[in-house]
Every structure is written in C-alpha cells, then in structure tokens.
Structure 1
C-alpha cells in the first residue's frame, strides 16, 4: 500500500479540472438526455481523472488502482444489502406481505381524517417496501382519486402522499438511498437511520398536526372510489387476505422490525426475512419453489388486469438492483481515486 505521506499532491488547477469535468458532464447529460442515467458519465470521469493525474502529476497507476479497490471495498456491504433487498421484495409480495399492507391500508382510510391516514398509510407502505417513488405512483394515484371525491384539494392530497412516502423512505432499512448513504459514509445502517430520525421524526409529527387541522375542514363525506374498489377486489382475488393469513403474511416485516431493534446485522436481517417470506408464499399462497426462485431473481410477475395493482406488484428481484449496484461501485470507485491520490 502506498504511503499517503509520500503521495505527491496534485495542483489546485488539476483538482479543479477533474471535479469540473464531472460537474459539466452531469449537466450536459441532463440537458441533452434529460435523464440521470450517469453510469458512463462516472466511467469517463474516472478515466479522465486517472489520465490527468498520470500525465500532469506523475501519479503511479498502482495508487489509482488502490483508490478504486478502496472505493469498492467501502461499497461492498451496502451493495450486497441492496442485492438482497431485491431478493426480499418479491418474496414479500408473493407471501402477501405487501398486498396485505395495500389492502388493509386502503380499507382503513377514514374520510374524517383523510390527510392524516393518507400520510400514515404512505409512510408505512414506503417503510416496508423501501420505495417512495413506488408508493407515490400507486398509493398516491388511488389517494388522489379518493381525495377528489371528498372535495379535498389535489395539492393537499399530494402533500400528504409525498410527506408520508419520503418519511418512510428515510426510515426504511431496505431503502436503496439509506443503504447507499450509510455505505458511502462508512457507518452502520441503523446508526444512520437513528441520526436521520432526530430531524425526520419531529418534522413528520409537525406535518401530521398540520394535517389534523386541515382535516377539520373536510370532516364529512364518504369514500366512493371505483379505482379503490377495483384494487381491493383484484388483491383479494389474487392473494389470500383473510385476517389470519394477513397476520401471518406480516411476519417477514415484523421480523425486520424486531431484528432491527435488536441491531442484528442488516445483511442477515434481510436474508432471514426473505427466506421466511419465501416459505410463507409456498405454504399459504401456494407458489412453487421454482416460481419463487425465478421471482426472487428476476422480480415478481403477475397480470391481474388492473394497471395500478400490476405496477405496484411487478417489481423487485436481484437483477433489478444491478442498475443501482453498478452506479454505486462506479461512484465510489471515482471517490476512491480522488481520496487516495490526494
């Protein structure tokens, strides 16, 4: 390993050129392509940084390689967690865990405290699925329809959905952003959540209080939403959601919460939950082992005939996480080069 005290420090202009190349590349990509698909941007930024350091700073390639390895080492545990989250999500869906949350979450929404229950429902859904975007695109769509039927402003309903979804994402041990930030900062994932909670929980409590006062303006009416009724019917026809089965299907989620409170290793927690969910899916929901292996690798697949339900349930899988895993390795490799070369 290279002695850091003997590493020749790059000049200020060289450091600025390397960082500016990355910034300009990002901006050009967003302007030209309009999407944050930055894998090759990070790749070329790493190549540019390496070339500039070798040519103008006489940096040895061994040191650059050491930086890449250092970055990948930081990323490894977080990337493994992300991959196993991909395995766990379709197991939860097949076991009925996520369908149960959706089904009973929608049934429990009260018109008298609609904004509060909407925010809490989205928070719980995201906490258990790790995806704020998925919650907003599914629960959010259904809740917008309900809110419109109750005469509630679309802006208020959207605020409730977004607040709940973002809160759940920040608190979820299976959120990709939570795992990436913990891995990048080299801290335990549960310590990361605990730190974020000091600001996020008080903020969410204040938000709920505001929604309570807003709900007082819309304390009448009944929920009549064809979209919600269709979702409930589709879920009950494709999954066994009787109360006893619903309780059993929540075991994988409860396991995650218990093991998280006991500070069990996040990797082990996710694997245990995934395996338990797989057996529940096989025993209670009557899936075959070969089907579960396919779902856990490539993602859960079902055609219910309802677009909103399919959009929420057709997801997950080990392979679905490779986009995030690869960007994590590329980004941290780039950071490792900058760190080790000074």
Structure 2
C-alpha cells in the first residue's frame, strides 16, 4: 500500500545531513549523526503509517546484509596488528631500504609505497608508517616537501585501490556481489598503465635524488634490533595474495592471514600467545631502540575499528529506511530523467 510521507523527501534528507554536520561541528563521532538520522527517519515513517515492526525489520535486514562486511572491518584492525607484530611490515621496510641504496629515490619510494599499501590494505596506515620514514629520508636529501608528499600519496592510494585487505574494496565487493578475482581482473586493466606512466614520470623527476646508505642506516639498525628480520616472513603477504587472487572468500582470507600472522609472531618474534591476542584486540606498538620508529609502527587492533563499524552500519540502516519510505525516489527520478 502506498503511504504518503508527512514530510517531503528533501526535508528528510537535509535534516539527516544537518545531524551529520552537527556531529562533526561538535567533534562527536559520526555515528551519533547517523543514529540521530535513523531515529528521525524512523519517527517520520511511523507517523506516515509504517508499522514499527516493518521499520524494525528493515533496520535488521540492513545489518544482516552487512554482517560479513562489519566482521571484515574488525578483522582489518586485527590484520594490521599482526603484520606489525609478526615483523612483516618492518621486514618489508628493511629490505626496501636496503635495495633503495644507490637508486633513484623518488621512483624507489613510489614503488615501495605501492607494495606496502597493497599488503597493508590501508593508504592512510601506509603513509603514517613507512611513508613518514621515507619522507624524513627524502627531506634530508633536499627533496621538496610537496614533491615528497605527492610521491607517497600517489603510491599509497594507487595500490590501496586493489588491495585484498582494503576496507573500501571489500565494501565495493560486498555492494556489487563480486569476489576479489573478478574485481582484480577488471581494475588492473586501467591501474597497471597508471602505475607504469607514474613510474616513468618519477624516474625522470628523481634522477638527481639518489638514495644514500647513511640516510637509511639508522632505520635499518633500529629495525634489526627490534625485530627478527627474515625473508621467510614474506610467506604471509605471499599467502594472502595467492588466496585473494584464487578467489577465496575475503572473510576466510583475512582469518587465515591473521592466524598465520599470529603464528609468525610467536615463531619469529618470540611473542607470547597472550601478547598476540592482546595485539589483535587492542593494538600493537613497535619496540625498537628508536622512539621515532616506534611511533610509526602502531596499530589500534580490532577495538580501533569499532567506530568504523558503527558508521558503516548507521549509513546502511539509514539508506534502507530511505528505500523503505521511498525517500530517494523523487531524487533518483530527477537524476535519471532524460537518460
């Protein structure tokens, strides 16, 4: 039965937008804005003749559809902790710094950021760890700050687009109901030429900036003293890559990667099982002689991702309620008119 809303759809959407902006202005978590929007929209639907049961079931159906993605978001926090605790990220940094010696620094920094971002699954996390280290080295070599930032950001975000551990990519896959193998084949066609063209540009831009061993030595020494660095640790990123490309379900890939990361933490870094569990839940912080490096090797664990799950859940529930009340129909009609 067609029900007439007591408020016009634009009024409902603008009010919800005001709630979101208000939460930002008041420095409140964004999920408070979504919660206010959900309550407001639910009240409008109820006053417009929608039964409470129908509104409640709509909200539950949104959470049910989103259940897998919410679990993956939590596992992303755990995965980052395991990649740090097991020594995988420090090992990538160590060997990356080693092979950078004598090379074109801008090109090497770009490629390292692509690699780290791909296996960490987060552009922001990659920039705040490896990126800051590379930035410090680059600035000490006289590379302009704006140029260095451009190299790091482009490397991190290019790789983040196809990382099997990326929250954004997993959200996309859940939305379009595609597995990683299908998405990878589709995106690599445009991404690979982009990486090649960008690499050529940085090759010519960075010909006068050659990485010197002295600039990299302090980071390598700190990593060596804080972690057991071994090529064997590349087993973890290789395993995750193989499982992802083979088309294995993302949830299973994350779970296997976390278990493998925990095992490597115990075997290679001699971390106790209780410490591994603590890192999974509450995060990890590096323990090297360099406080500067320790401040970079940080992860918040699963707990740090709870706010993100609330925001995603709030957004999906609000969209479902909009769909139930046909709030978006007039807006979509105007957008598609004439197509």
What TM-score does the superposition give when structure 2 sets the normalisation length?
A: 0.87
Which stretches in structure 2 are left out of the alignment for 5+ residues?
327-339
- The one of 8, 15, 32 equivalent to 1:14 is 8
Structure 2 CA distance for partners of 1:15 and 1:177, relative to 1, 3 Å = same
Deviations 1:283-328 (A, max 9, x none): 2221111221221121123443534422332214222221111211
Are the structure 2 counterparts of residues 65 and 171 from structure 1 closer, same or farther at C-alpha, using a change threshold of 3 Å?
same
Give the one of 160, 166, 170 matched to 2:157: 166
Q: Report what 2:19 is aligned to.
A: 25
Q: Is the 8 A contact 1:68 1:333 kept in 2?
A: yes
CA distance in 2, matches of 1:192, 1:280: 29
For the residue of structure 2 that corresponds to 1:312, the secondary structure is coil
CA–CA separation in structure 2 for the residues paired with 1:135 and 1:14: 44
Q: Is the 8 A contact 1:66 1:340 kept in 2?
A: no
The alpha carbon displacement at 1:76 in A equals: 0.8
Which residue does the alignment assign to 2:218? 230
Task: Report the alpha carbon displacement of residue 161 of structure 1 after superposing the two structures with TM.
Answer: 0.3
Q: Give the direction of change, closer, same or farther, for the CA distance of 1:221–1:298 in structure 2 (3 Å limit).
A: closer
Distance 2:282 2:221 in 1: 27
Distance in 1 between residues matched to 2:183 and 2:86, nearest whole Å:
29
Match of 1:290 in 2: 274
CA distances 1:4-29 after superposition (whole Å, capped 9, x unpaired): xx353647x52111111122233344
Match of 1:75 in 2: 66
Distance 1:220 1:288 in 2: 41
Is 1:252 the equivalent of 2:240? no
Listed as ranges, the gaps of 5+ residues in structure 1 are: 1-5
User: Who is 1:138 aligned against?
Assistant: 129
Offset from partner CA, 1:184-230 (integer Å, 9 cap, x none): 444435544544444433323222121122123x15573543xx433
Distance 1:272 1:236, change over 3 A: same
The 1:28–1:134 alpha-carbon spacing in structure 2 relative to 1, beyond 3 Å, is same
Alignment of 1:32-111 (within 5 A): 32-33=25-26, 37-55=29-47, 57-110=48-101
CA distance in 2, matches of 1:123, 1:282: 28
**Using the alignment, how far apart are the partners of 1:205 and 1:9 within structure 2?**
55
What is the CA–CA distance in structure 1 between the aligned matches of 2:95 and 2:119, rounded to whole Å? 14
Is the contact between residue 173 and residue 190 of structure 1 (CA under 8 Å) also seen in structure 2? Answer: no
Distance in 2 between the 1:43 and 1:197 partners? 38
Cα–Cα, structure 1 residues 23 and 215, in superposed 2: closer, same or farther, change >3 Å?
same
Which moves more between the two structures, 251-260 or 323-332?
323-332
Does the 8 Å CA contact 2:100/2:211 hold for their aligned counterparts? no
1:164-243 aligned at under 5 Å gives the runs 164-216=155-207, 218=208, 222=212, 224-225=214-215, 228-241=216-229
Q: CA deviation at 1:112?
A: 4.2
Secondary structure in 2 matching 1:171: coil
Per the alignment, do residues 259 and 110 of structure 1 end up closer, same or farther by CA in structure 2, a change over 3 Å counting?
same
For the aligned residue pairs, the C-alpha RMSD in angstroms reads 2.3
Quick one: distance in 2 between partners of 1:209 and 1:9? 59
Which of the residues 297, 303, 306 maps onto 2:290?
Answer: 306
CA–CA separation in structure 2 for the residues paired with 1:206 and 1:28: 42
> Alpha carbons of 1:110 and 1:229: their partners in 2 closer, same or farther (altered >3 Å)?
closer
